[in-house]
Structure 1
Amino acid sequence: MTIYRKIAMSQALTPNATFVAPDPATQLAKFTPTDTAVATMAAEYMPLVIQGPDDSEGFKVVHQARMVVKSHRVTVEKVRKELKADALEYGRRVDGEAKRITAMLEPIENHLAEQEASYEAAKEAIRKAARLKAEAEETARREAEEARLRAEREAEEARLRAERAELEAERARQKAEQDKIDAARREVEAEQKRLADIEAARLRKIEDERIAAEAAERARIETEARIAREAAEKEAARLKAEALKPDREKLLAVADQVRDIRHVATVSSDPFAMKAAVLVADVLTQAERQIRNIVAEMGGDNW
């Protein structure tokens, strides 16, 4: 008998979970045929083992067997729920029977699940090893390519350094030659500047002497003109003063008369009269002073 016929036989042993009567004994009897089925499945499925990650046929058998066991467990759970719906007491008995049968089914299902998990883990290990190998090969290829590119880059850099060294040597030679030319040119320019400075100093001296002579001549002429002008102005002032002397004397005589009027006026002891006399005296004093100032300024430059 093949494993597939055995699985079909196990499926045929699934109990009928249809509710017939509320009697607990009658209802629980619906789980009774599963004892034989569980024993059969345990005998048939527990020896199943997957022989490594290449045993795909064994994996299929284990997977199908686990699906059968799982279907029984699901059916038991379904019957449990249907029977439990009739009454609470009946439900407790149904739960107990379901737990009992489930407890017998779970080791079988767990065994088969472990076999499947072991198979999947082995397959994943193979895939991982292949992936790691591919990654290592890619890393090696990339590192080799990077090393090749680095070697080419270093060779190019060395070539460029050599070219730069040659260019720098040539520039240094040209600079040394140019420095010699520049030094000779600076010597010529320095000599030319020295001679030009001597000539400029000689010309400046001649110009300074000419300017100094002209300034001295101008100063002499200006001094003589100033002396003559001052003498003429002094003589003109003397003549003007001499011509105005009679008029000054007349005006000064007026100032004397104003002064005398101030001393001649007398008033009574009346306070108002005395105050008025003081004010008049002040006016006369100011008039005398202004007359004398006018006489002093008469004929002056600001007159």
Structure 2
Amino acid sequence: MDEHYVKNTYNSLLLKGMKSALKRIIKAINEREKIVIYGYYDFDSITAISLLILVLRYLNADVEYFQPNEIREDRNLKDNDIQNYIKYLGADLIITVGSTVSSEKEIQLCRDLDIDIIVTDYHKDCKCYDEVVVINPNKEGCNYPFKNLSASGVAYKLVQTVSEYYKMTCINKYIDLVMLGTISKGVPVIGENCFIVDEGLKQLECSNNYGIRALIDDNNVDDIEEFIHNNLTMDIFQRTNSMGRIDNARIAIELFTTNEKHRAKQISKYLYNEIKKSKKQNFNSRSKIFV
């Protein structure tokens, strides 16, 4: 067995750029700098954003998140995001999930605004710039052994590193979120992803995430593993993933990050009603074609 492969998961410090990212995040946490998480609105990104928010809040960090306000073909952090939104959040540090920056223009703008950037991504065509810390197992020159992590998987490697520094002993309680993001992305469930899925299923049985528990309860789930692997699961992913409106991605993040059980139930019921409404509209649209 590889000496770096411990408990079915590789040492996160093997990811190129991880040490630099850790150093910058420690500074942001300890000095109460504003951290803004930037991500897309698919389910994998929703779980990655939620994971980072939960862990950073636990460490008493000052953290917000931002998602694009319009449908896009790419996931890149753009000039408009920084200029018109993120800077007004008071950002000192941006951490992207499953995304990179578009060009040198955005990097220069962040430099002018004294905002640092950490990119966490998994795409093989991820852009890399000398001025930006990039964590991506598929980055050129990265010797991390496992290349099939999703956005939530890479985010998990980052929080593993941060949690080890701060001596957190409860990091695996979040792995059910990582598991859901991993499965929704459709990445191969091999290698380290097997660990994420297996441990995530175990955690799901006793999840203390109010949002996940509300989804399970509202769908009358008896068999957790069946819930994950059958069509009902994909239906739930659709509910919180591609509703057709970005605001539902945002409310899904609130679902997974709320510390209020009652609020989680409210959001879950809202999403449940939204998918029923969406299915009815789709059915009516298809019916008209055959009239």
Measured against the shorter chain, the TM-score band is: under 0.3
Structure having the larger proportion of residues in helix: 1
Bigger relative contact order, structure 1 or 2 (CA pairs below 8 A, ≥6 apart): 2
Q: TM-score, normalised by structure 2?
A: 0.18
Q: TM-score, normalised by structure 1?
A: 0.17
